[in-house]
Structure 1
Amino acid sequence: MSPPGTAEVEDQLWLVRHGETEWSRNGRHTSTTDLPLTDVGVAGARTLTGPLAAVDFAQVLTSPRQRARLTAELAGFPDAEIDADLAEWAYGDYEGLTTVQIRESVPGWSVWTHDSPGGETAAQVTERLDRIVARARAATGKTLVFAHGHSLRALAVRWLGLDVSEGRRFTLDTSTISMLGVDRGTQVVRRWNVQP
């Protein structure tokens, strides 16, 4: 309970981006390619244990990709429930490419504003991440999710009720914790991109 005159704020949805992979280190778009964590990624995932162990979560969900599942396991959640809705934005023909490489043929390209041939549309990403928002809202306590850079940024803006393209305004590093919550009925960002 907050003292009189302070905001009633509740942490409801915690986001963890997976540890480093070779492609995340090199800025390559990684969705369906199921890469392992690097040694740095493993070490980063282990640093998450302390901050997360002190919290009682009603549900813990993870992307089906091994980089997210292993991060969950190393952070102390080996039984995290796999939810395909948390998978990374599917980049289609741009899988494995950097933004610089893509912009050689599509100047100004961004996943937030342009199509990815053979990949997901912003509407498809919105639809599946809205299901995660609904799961978190329906939970009787805090929800923890382990997922990816673009999908978590998109999830955050959908939590806020914004268009998925607004995810471009949030940067998100590997092995970080972010918290979304509710302040007097308004869904808010409590903390973002926090290194343990």
Structure 2
Amino acid sequence: MRIFLVRHGQTAANASGLFYGSTDVPLTPLGIEQSTRVAGLLAEVAFSQVLSSQLTRAQQTAELIVPITGFDPRLNEMDFGRWEMRHFSDIAEEEPEAWQRWIDDWQNATPTDGEPFTHFAERVKAVAEELALRKEPGDMLIVAHQGVLSLLLAHWLRMPTESLWHFPFKQDAYTMVENRDGFMVLRVFNDRSPFRAEE
């Protein structure tokens, strides 16, 4: 099985550099353009299954690639609570102690009224482990978020959680992982060339 990973297209929150995860915002015109471009790159792939997070930006992106999709809420981005839709500089000024705890130990600190990172990582890990056990042939598309995709990849490659920072997913590209009986092989990362079926 081949699993194609696509990050949703740009949103206004991305463009403004805001913290956001659970806030449900749509794609910008540029985000629609990016997602449409990825759809063209993957035009030759006959996806047997498509999963996205349940957030609008991911579903919009997925539907531009494949019209019929399913969703899994475990693929939703982390909920940053009261930090949602705020710039990091404002959080640091208004909640300096909470922000410093996050800077010092982001894996164990929790954004104010938000989701603990450990909970977020565990739900993404559960999806990663389920997909690694899949043995049927075919191609799967997953459309989600930076944090989710980087955690999936780190888990599949048997790397520590903090390795997620090594995988900056672009919003106009695709990544492909091959599942070889549970042994996950990273074949392409942030590719912007048309995928050929014979590959």
**Residue correspondence of structure 1 range 91-106 to structure 2 within 5 A:** 91-104=80-93, 105=96, 106=99
Which of 53, 63, 70 pairs up with 2:60? 70
Aligned to 2:122: 127
Aligned to 2:190: 193
Report deviation, 1:91.
1.2
Which structure carries more helix by proportion? Answer: 2
Distance 1:193 1:101 in 2: 31
**Residue correspondence of structure 1 range 24-173 to structure 2 within 5 A:** 24-75=14-65, 77-104=66-93, 105=96, 106-107=99-100, 109=103, 112-113=106-107, 114-137=109-132, 138=134, 140=136, 141-173=138-170
Asked if the contact 2:3/2:179 (under 8 Å) is kept, the reply is no
Aligned to 1:8: none
Report deviation, 1:186.
3.9
Letter in 2 for 1:160: L
Aligned to 1:3: none
Aligned to 2:197: none
Asked if the contact 1:60/1:80 (under 8 Å) is kept, the reply is yes
Report deviation, 1:182.
4.5
Give me the TM-score of the superposition, normalised by structure 1. Answer: 0.82
Which of 22, 25, 32 pairs up with 2:12? 22
Report deviation, 1:162.
2.6
Query: Which ranges of structure 1 fall in alignment gaps of 5 or more residues?
Result: 1-10
Asked if the contact 2:19/2:87 (under 8 Å) is kept, the reply is yes
Give me the TM-score of the superposition, normalised by structure 2. Answer: 0.81
Identity %: 30
Please give the root-mean-square deviation of Cα atoms over the aligned residues, in Å: 2.4
Report deviation, 1:185.
6.6
